[in-house]
Chains A and B, each alone.
Chain A
Amino acid sequence: MDNTLHKRRLTKSTLLLLSVFVIATCGLIYELVAGTLASYLLGDSITQFSTIIGTYLFAMGIGSYLSRYLNKNLIVWFIQIELLVGLIGGFSSTLLFLVFDQVVYFRVILYAIVSLTGMFVGLEIPILMRILKEEFEFKDLVSEVFTFDYIGALLASLIFPLFFVPHVGLIRTSLFFGIINTAVALWVIYTFKNQVKYIRSLISVAWLVFLLMLTCFVLADYIQQYTESIAYHDKIIISKSSPYQRIVVTNSKNELRLYINGNLQFSTLDEYRYHESLVHPIMANAIDRDTVLIMGGGDGMAVRELLKYPDVKKIILVDLDPEMTKLFKSHPALSKLNNHSFSDSRVEIINDDAFIWALNQKNTFSTIIIDFPDPSNFSLGKLYSSTFYNRLYQLLKPNGCTVIQSTSPYFAPLSFWCVNATLKKSGFNTLPYHTYIPSFGEWGYIIGYKESFNQAQSYPKDLKYISPILFDQMCFFSKDMSERPVEINRLNNQVLVQYFDQEWSKFVQ
């Protein structure tokens, strides 16, 4: 009789010690998840990790202090807290992903989660020691509880970076440990069935939490996708990864937006402003409109504008990514945007590297439109270099004109004027201009010509934005966007990428 009682006590106390171990492991994991996510979003991992660890430890202190106010039904408190830790910790990463793009709220929620888990873990250990004080001598109790606590911490700190982050992912990691927390709570409930009040409600709550987390664990991929679509604000209708880039199209009530590698390319609300300003100033008054060359511009919007001139006989579009031109040729919603211009027999699409294509090209053109992505990295910076513009100069007929989208003269004046200076260095006469595009802000273009450029007195009838008077205004640069001394962008210095990086980093988080 005495022996069986002894045994039962033993399993109970072993179980409780095991739960210390689990609590410690899980608690630290939640903290690491929080630190990792905070470093992703806010950068500066040293600050993030040290503030989070500090907050967590401090919260544990608060929890320990509060434990003195809990006097009755310790085992019930213990189970409830265990469930709460599992619930909050388990859903912590999901919650943090959801508020990912709201930096202000992110911080509040982040520290709330860290404080709460810290406080509950801090509550649990003293409560547990009080539960177990009958079973052990004091010195053994302290020794065993803390030993398990610290072993749990070691385990967590090893498996988190080595296994969970690379193989499981953050959302599933925290859910997994939430599930383990809850499972231990369930085990404790069933073991202490006879000593516990409100047993039924506790059991049902525990199972509910358990199943909820298990469901989320299975559906973690969908959660991930959902959180990504939140980063884009709107519903994603197309998401394609080509070998070259990631193309995402989002849809809200009244607009479509195209993103490439997360950068906004256009919004249907105001893209006509961008494309009319790009195409018409050099087209409306062109001497020879027979053949037009476009480099970049795989969305076909510039082609749509070009086709407003009946005397255009051929348009050659050189764009790197076949996936992009295919989408804008055949997707019903997207091809509608460019007025099905890619299906026009006058349009020839060449999927090739623009630089290589230009180097090998033997024909010359009287109109060349250049609509490359912004020079945000070294491989794109090459397409804005003096070497490329020297080649462009050779491709342009003596009476021809080219236009280059040249990023924002307001946000990135050095970058804008660097493009201008580089074009000049390559022999072009230039005419810089700019306009306001609501979804981009102030945006700039530069016309390059060899002999002369005459402004158009009239534009095609069906335009929504550009007019001769407006173009006059576009050519005026206020002081905050005015020309400034810059270096020439060469392949061997790539200053433009550095200017661009410095300037935009002030505006983009």
Chain B
Amino acid sequence: MRQFSRKKFIIFIILGIFAIPLVGYIYQWIKKKLLHVPILGEIKSASYKVGHLLWNTPFKKTDRIHEVNVVIIGSGISGLSAANELFKKGESNFVILELEPTAGGNARNGENVAGKYPFGAHYLPLPSLEMKELIDFLKEIDVIESFSENGLPIYNEQYLCAAPEDRLYIHGHWQSGIVPNFGLAEDDKKQIRRFQSEMKRLKHVKGSDGLYAFSLPLKNSSKDKTYANLDAISMEHYLRKEGYTSTYLYWYVNYCCKDDFGTSTEDTSAWAGLHYFCSRRGVAANSEEHDQLTWPEGNAWLMEKLKQPIASNIRVGNLAYEVNKKGERYEVVSLDTITGNVEQWNCANIIFACPQFVIGHIRTNIAELKNRSYDAFHYSSWMVGNLLVKNNLIEKGGAPLSWDNVIYNSPALGYINSNAQYVQRHQPEINLTYYYAFDEKQMSRKKLLQTSHAELTHMMLNDLKQVYSDIEGSIIRYDAFIWGHAMIKPQVGFIWGEEKRKALTPILGSIYFAHTDLSGISIFEEAFYQGITAATAVLKKGNASN
């Protein structure tokens, strides 16, 4: 009896051990195969295919010829800002050629039942008072309502980032604020405090030329070698050199670099990394210092304001592919991708407000343009996904859903509640906009552009399941915008390097360049000032010749 019972017992145990995962597997299989409904949605991306195709195809003859004073190529913030400046100063004889079906570049947006949401850029930090042109623009469009007695801007509070602003999921808990704090050892906290006070010091420090060490627009920063030389080392190197060891601090700085540039601390110059922390001196009468301006559709709101006065000058779906000098004037040839017509724009000035890698593909008889070097220009690629979800997500403990929600040690950059700025009490569905900057080593641009919707969705789910274990049941759809060349990488030596300076130099006093890749950091402020600078140069030349 004993023998029998033991044998039976062992068999029972072995069967049991195998049965538990088997039952689990069958359950999962049934759930996946029979009950699984794939998440709806689509991939959107920049029209790189049109570009690739057309640059390699011979074109037919010109259908129409236009005479204008200025041709602006590209309708991102740089191009729109240049156009606005021209228009404001009385020059309205210009055209903007845009390859994409809609204007706006990185500052475009989508819309669904829950409201608007950004495809890319989604906020503007309060500008410093010395950024006079930007402050004036914000006043013009009523983002700044008035100024207080002591000269501080009073912002329209509907556009200031709604509370609660941000939170971080760390050690199984949502803490408020994204600087790691919850569950950190005293030494880590001390290092983070030291880093913060050093950033605070550098924010107000000035170089021997009397300029702030770090300024916006970037070109107004001090040229003092003490600071400019920081461009020669990486942010990672800087942190090590300063004696920081806390992994939490390294994570935080890396997160900030990726969030602003799409690059890791190793791939970011220390000057650029510090610029992120030390260039914003924005103040307001009715807000905290480092507050944000934001809208449900992100910077598309600002873009629309820039676009509005000059909207009739924009030609969308229009690919400029050839630029030639003819006598004192220039001919820009473009293809209207909608009608198939080839158009020629005769002009006195050209502003290239598109990324440099695009200019490299343009045919030209101008040697200076043909010989420009683009080797130093590298771009990070991004996925900006939008999750339309039922507003019934079960939150983990701690801080409530905020505008910006970041997960510690996630490969992605967290998600924005794009509905946070809406004042409605009842929001049955909301848009969570999910940001992911890719490391070239893990996911090449080519591979990213070939990744299917199901795989992109899977990537997002894997990440967000950490904080919403049953998120799948709440997702209505997931649309992913893939940006192959989302942002210029401020790599070591790029910002203060020779290549960038050369690329920014106008050609023949008539061809100008305005784009954030010529600043080295891809942000609204830089684009805004790049546009103004180019337009001012064009206007100055016009005045001189009159």
Residue ranges of A at the interface with B (Cβ–Cβ < 8 Å): 6, 10, 136-137, 140, 144, 147, 151, 243-244, 320, 353-356, 359, 378-380, 382-383, 385-388, 488, 490-494
Q: Given the interface contacts A378-B400, A494-B164, does A320 sit within 8 Å of B425 by beta carbon?
A: yes
**Smallest Cβ-Cβ distance to A7: which chain B residue:** B1
Say whether chain B's binding surface is mostly helix, strand, loop, or mixed. loop
Q: Which of B1-39 contact A (CB under 8 A)?
A: 1-2, 5-6, 9, 16
What is the minimal beta-carbon distance from A400 to any residue of chain B, in angstroms? Answer: 23
CA distance A320 to B162 in the complex (A): 22
Would A355 and B423 count as touching, CB distance under 8 A? Answer: yes
Given A320-B425, A356-B424, A378-B163; 19 other pairs, CB 8 A cutoff: A137-B2, A140-B2, A144-B5, A144-B9, A147-B9, A243-B428, A356-B423, A382-B162, A382-B423, A383-B425, A490-B157, A491-B162, A491-B423, A492-B160, A492-B161, A492-B287, A492-B288, A492-B291, A493-B163
| Complex contacts, A492 vs chain B, CB 8 Å | 157, 160-163, 165, 287-288, 291
Looking at A10, A354, A382, A492, which has the most chain B CB atoms within 10 Å of its CB?
A492
B102 on interface, CB distance cutoff 8 Å: no
Would B157 and A491 count as touching, CB distance under 8 A? Answer: yes
CA distance A71 to B16 in the complex (A): 36
CA distance A10 to B165 in the complex (A): 68
Contacts A/B (CB < 8 Å), 9 sampled: A140-B2, A151-B16, A244-B425, A320-B426, A382-B425, A490-B163, A491-B160, A491-B162, A492-B291
What is the minimal beta-carbon distance from B435 to any residue of chain A, in angstroms? Answer: 22
Q: CB < 8 Å: which of A353, A387, A490 contacts B424?
A: A353
What is the minimal beta-carbon distance from B151 to any residue of chain A, in angstroms? Answer: 19
What is the minimal beta-carbon distance from B379 to any residue of chain A, in angstroms? Answer: 33
Would A10 and B163 count as touching, CB distance under 8 A? Answer: no
What is the minimal beta-carbon distance from B166 to any residue of chain A, in angstroms? Answer: 12
CA distance A335 to B516 in the complex (A): 64
B158 on interface, CB distance cutoff 8 Å: yes
Q: Mark B295-330, 1 if CB is under 8 A from A, else 0.
A: 000000000000000000000000000000000000
Would A355 and B425 count as touching, CB distance under 8 A? Answer: yes
What is the minimal beta-carbon distance from B3 to any residue of chain A, in angstroms? Answer: 11
CA distance A71 to B165 in the complex (A): 69
Number of A-B contacts (CB under 8 A): 75
Would B157 and A353 count as touching, CB distance under 8 A? Answer: no
| Complex contacts, A387 vs chain B, CB 8 Å | 157-158, 423
Chain B interface residue count, Cβ-Cβ cutoff 8 angstroms: 25
B451 on interface, CB distance cutoff 8 Å: no
Looking at B1, B6, B165, B291, which has the most chain A CB atoms within 10 Å of its CB?
B1
CA distance A243 to B426 in the complex (A): 9
| Closest CB pairs A-B (n = 7) | A494-B163, A492-B160, A355-B423, A379-B425, A387-B157, A353-B424, A491-B157
CA distance A494 to B165 in the complex (A): 10
**Smallest Cβ-Cβ distance to A377: which chain B residue:** B400
Would B157 and A385 count as touching, CB distance under 8 A? Answer: yes
What is the minimal beta-carbon distance from B490 to any residue of chain A, in angstroms? Answer: 30
CA distance A97 to B89 in the complex (A): 74
B47 on interface, CB distance cutoff 8 Å: no
CA distance A140 to B5 in the complex (A): 10
Q: Given the interface contacts A243-B428, A380-B425, A382-B425, does A10 sit within 8 Å of B164 by beta carbon?
A: no
CA distance A490 to B286 in the complex (A): 9
Would B426 and A353 count as touching, CB distance under 8 A? Answer: yes
**Smallest Cβ-Cβ distance to A244: which chain B residue:** B426
**Smallest Cβ-Cβ distance to B163: which chain A residue:** A494
**Smallest Cβ-Cβ distance to A10: which chain B residue:** B1
CA distance A244 to B158 in the complex (A): 23
